[in-house]
Structure 1
Amino acid sequence: MSSDSSSNDAWAGFKLWYYTPSPAAAGIYAAVFALLTGYHAFRLIQRRTWFCIPFVVGGLFELIGYIARGLAHNNKDSVPIYTIQSLLLLLAPILFAASVYMILGRLVRVLHGEAYTLIRVNWLTKIFVGGDIFCFMIQGAGGGLLASADTKAEVDRDNNIILGGLVLQIIIFCIFVAVAVVFQMRMNKRPTEAAISGPLGGAKWKRLMLGLYATSVLITTRNLFRVIEYGLGNGNYLLSHEVFLVVFDGLLMIFVLAICVMWYDREISKGKPSKKQNAAYRLESPEAMLEDGRQQNGMKKTMRHGESEPARPWS
């Protein structure tokens, strides 16, 4: 690939850069991502929240991506520099999404709300993280193929692969948000004891859910921007002005990393309730309540037929 590509039909009219990357913007963003990523790494090790590793890896992707953009200021013809920043900034939000998906499953368990999810909690994280990995593979493959494309048809194909991965990521995120909203509505209607007086009880778990929604909106907004950017083709207005990527990609991802600092809560870090908590959940769960109601109705029917009430253990 070359910025002077008039001799190559695959890249006729194509430029690596339609503007000169700002070293000031790249430097500021690299510094901010370095601070946020460093703090996430510190909290991850402190709390042993290994499920948040994608936050740190994604932060490193953003950091290296903006360092590459800073280097591109005086190296606009460098294909490796262009490819590094393009791929890493494209893929970083997928890693942020992976940890966000895992947060919901952990909240459900800590709040003993397994009965309130549209998807079984054991499958909740697997389905969404699996979909996220699939999107990562699609976009990564598309970006890698694009860097080595030799014909115009291959360029269009590879752009469409990336576009398809972005659209799929948006669809998965919308389904995820729907699952989260249904879970919260059911929990609000009939809260568990853990949601009322547990370690994350009261308003605390609701603040965490707000953080989850906020990050979901930010990542989805960024993905929509990328879909429009790729959909409009080479040399479009969005690609020709750096401010759009700086605001609708970099800035939004800074907000995501800043909001996600709240995930390093000791209870969320545990992820699963203890055996004692599980016993309490069985007593308070909707299924247990329903079973108790059935048993009580059965006892009443038995008594109406003249049979004596079974002796209680404490009688």
Structure 2
Amino acid sequence: MTILNERGEADFDLYPYRPSGTAGYAFVVLFGLGGFVHLCMLIPLRAWFFIPFVMGCAGVSYKIYYHHTKVTFTDILQGEAAGYYGRAWSHSNIRNGSPYLLQLMLILASAPLLAASIYMTLGRLIRALDATDHAFLSPRWTTKIYVTIDIGSFVTQLMGTAMQANGGADGVKQGTTIVIAGLGVQLGAFAIFILSVIIFHRRLVLEPTEMSIMHKTWNRYMWMLYTVSGLIVVRSIFRLAEFLEGNDGKLYKTEAFLYVFDASLMFAVVVFMAVLHPGLLLRATRKREMGIPLL
């Protein structure tokens, strides 16, 4: 696997501490298992919109090269599990550039992949509950707008971390600015998304549809959306504060903050989305429409 060209050893420490190998490997296992569980649920539930979610947990492979002002994507392992593998790998050598870059890019850029499936969930719930009239935006535009913003945030954060790793002092400064912009866009999108969920939820409570009356569990899926969205917002605020504070800040210099306000929160998102998988409600509504009795 080639990551931003082959990275050798730096002549200085890449971390202000020695990353915990135990914590890194623990989250490799947790996100790997989470991705496997979601993959196993994706197929029988026909929840194909969870493919980005699985990618964000466990990963896919492609490449990315940075050349001055041009970024070319060609083969890199993507996903939270791969990012924390990079941190575990770094434990043995904090000057090795390859694992440092692996964790820098993937932990930061995996969140938009998880968010993409969360965005698409709302549109599918609106259609499944036959509640298009209650939506802030039509389900079609809800998915298109939020996923487009999410893709932009994903690419921006990848580009920013690539520039930080390859562009010298100027590249680090410019790359940090780009990452901050990507995180800001992600936060703004989630704020509007949560507002959309609130508006839809309130309208459907006040004017239930026949399908929502039949499937009384729909309400718990709305609260699931609030929960996972809130977790990602808190995580994004932490990462934004970390980048704004800079490498001399306490957030960057204290490894525990990363595991408390990023790793743990993102894994909680994976767990909530598995326990209250929207595919369960979507499958139930499909069966109802086809006249299949619910067990």
- Which TM bucket (shorter chain)? 0.7 to 0.9
Partner residue in 2 for 1:115: 133
Matched residues in 1 for 2:122 and 2:286: separation?
12
Partner residue in 1 for 2:181: 164
Name the SS of the counterpart of 1:107 in structure 2: helix
Partner residue in 2 for 1:4: 11
Q: How does 1:85-234 map to 2 (within 5 A)?
A: 85-150=103-168, 152-197=169-214, 201-202=215-216, 204-234=217-247
Name the SS of the counterpart of 1:239 in structure 2: helix
Matched residues in 1 for 2:22 and 2:290: separation?
55
8 Å Cα contact 1:105/1:124 also seen in 2: yes
Matched residues in 2 for 1:242 and 1:21: separation?
7
Name the SS of the counterpart of 2:110 in structure 1: helix
Long gaps (5+) in structure 2: 1-6, 59-78
**How big is the shift at 1:205?**
0.7
8 Å Cα contact 1:16/1:76 also seen in 2: yes
Q: Which piece of structure 1 moves more, 109-118 or 268-277?
A: 268-277
- Per-residue displacement from partner, 1:92-142 (whole Å, max 9, x unpaired)? 111110000010001100111100111122211010011100101111111
8 Å Cα contact 1:107/1:271 also seen in 2: no
Relative contact order, higher structure (CA 8 A, sep 6+): 1
Q: How does 1:242-281 map to 2 (within 5 A)?
A: 242-261=255-274, 262-269=276-283
Partner residue in 1 for 2:32: 34
**How big is the shift at 1:239?**
0.9
Matched residues in 1 for 2:164 and 2:38: separation?
32
Amino acid at match of 2:15: W
**Max Rg structure:** 1
Matched residues in 2 for 1:30 and 1:237: separation?
25
**How big is the shift at 1:265?**
3.1
8 Å Cα contact 2:14/2:95 also seen in 1: yes
Long gaps (5+) in structure 1: 6-14, 278-315
- Per-residue displacement from partner, 1:232-275 (whole Å, max 9, x unpaired)? 11121111111000110000011000001122534425898998
Matched residues in 2 for 1:167 and 1:56: separation?
24
Amino acid at match of 2:194: V
**How big is the shift at 1:276?**
7.8
Alignment size in residue pairs:
263
Matched residues in 2 for 1:275 and 1:71: separation?
51
- Per-residue displacement from partner, 1:155-207 (whole Å, max 9, x unpaired)? 2111000000001100000000001100010111111111111xxx22x1110
**How big is the shift at 1:46?**
2.5
Matched residues in 2 for 1:146 and 1:274: separation?
52
Partner residue in 2 for 1:241: 254
Name the SS of the counterpart of 1:265 in structure 2: helix
Amino acid at match of 1:263: H
TM-score (norm 1): 0.79
Partner residue in 2 for 1:58: 56
**How big is the shift at 1:54?**
1.1
Matched residues in 1 for 2:260 and 2:46: separation?
32
Name the SS of the counterpart of 2:38 in structure 1: helix
Matched residues in 2 for 1:147 and 1:271: separation?
48
